[in-house]
Amino acid sequence: MFTGGLDVKLEELKIPESGEKIVVDPGNGGTVVSLILGKAEKELLRNDSEDEYLENPLFRGRFLFPFNDRIPEGKYNFQGVDYQLPVNNPDDGSSIHGFMYNKKVEVLQSGGTDLSVRWHTVESSIPGYPFALSLTMDFHLSPGGLNIDFTVRNEGRRTAPFALGWHSYFLTESGSKVIADFPCFFDIDSSFLPVGDCIPAKGPGFDFSQGTVLEGKSLDHTFVSPRNGTVILDNREYRIRIVQENFPFTQLYIPPEGDSIAIEPITSKPNSFNSSKVLTLSPGNVYTAAVRIECLDKEMQ
């Protein structure tokens, strides 16, 4: 995986008989470093090169918790109290993608086709986030597919705002299409934050219901997830089907290289902590979500 001097300890799940394999980095928030599923028989994810992995400029493969995407200037107000998060995006002065992406997660179980990891916030450990949540992620590899189950638990003494996402980049090629029946999408401002009401995803540009070629497109938009939770990436030799549960939104982003697309399951729009619809958890309560990724023959959907 990494052939140079990069000192990372990776967890690998595989099924030798059918060729499935996933590689996870517990030292960097459970980052999914590699994913190979049977029908493709090759790498499905676009991840960092070895020399950019620790800097991770595009958050490839990282899990986003306790919030996804940007919070402008790292400022938010929750229940009448103003908070200031650490700013970790110098380009626009925002706090972005939470705090877990470069932290060590606890390995609860590892072996065969299953891996379980957990990470905690602590009420006093993160400036601007005085809440105690845990996130457990259970990975299960099966012939043709990967399941990731998420459990967020409030282990503290106060109600907490939160959001969750996965910044997964899938490799594309000439002619690759996304197929998804998104009900609507949000326009963005100059800071790439969603603005206004959700716009029906009809007409050219944002209607993916019949399949839209990605080549030459510019995307960094939030969509309301399809009612069936399904997004398909159609490549020449195979299709990737992503099915998400309890992720009400999907972020689509095409990076400048144009060699991949981030199809991100997210629980909330960017700037979630400043939304009147921010997700919250009371002490002792849990929130569960799931993602399944399958690699299909071309004729299957």
Kindly list the domain boundaries of the chain, sorted by start residue.
11-172+259-296
Mean pLDDT of 48-53: 83
Q: Which residues contact residue 66 at a Cβ distance below 8 angstroms, ignoring those fewer than 6 apart?
A: 98, 99, 100, 121, 129, 131, 133, 135, 160, 161, 162, 163, 164
Q: Which residue has the tokens 């992620």?
A: 137
Does 4 score more than 70 pLDDT?
no
Q: Which residues contact residue 287 at a Cβ distance below 8 angstroms, ignoring those fewer than 6 apart?
A: 151, 152, 162, 164, 246, 267, 279, 281
pLDDT digits (tens, 9 = 90+) for 91-107: 889 999 999 999 999 99
40-49, 110-119, 158-167, 204-213 — which is least confidently predicted?
A: 40-49
Quick one: pLDDT at residue 301? Answer: 47
Of the pLDDT bands very low, low, confident and very high (cuts 50, 70, 90), residue 299 is low
pLDDT digits (tens, 9 = 90+) for 261-276: 999 999 999 999 999 9
Q: What is the CATH number of domain 11-172+259-296?
A: 2.70.98.10
pLDDT digits (tens, 9 = 90+) for 166-215: 999 999 999 999 999 999 999 999 888 999 999 999 977 899 999 999 99
Name, of 97-106, 119-128, 292-301, the range with top average pLDDT. Answer: 97-106
Of the pLDDT bands very low, low, confident and very high (cuts 50, 70, 90), residue 298 is low
Count other C-beta atoms under 10 Å from residue 95's C-beta. 24
Rounded to whole angstroms, the Cα distance separating 291 from 286 reads 17
Q: Which residues contact residue 12 at a Cβ distance below 8 angstroms, ignoring those fewer than 6 apart?
A: 21, 22, 23, 24
Largest CA distance in the chain: 56
Q: Which residue has the tokens 């002792």?
A: 284
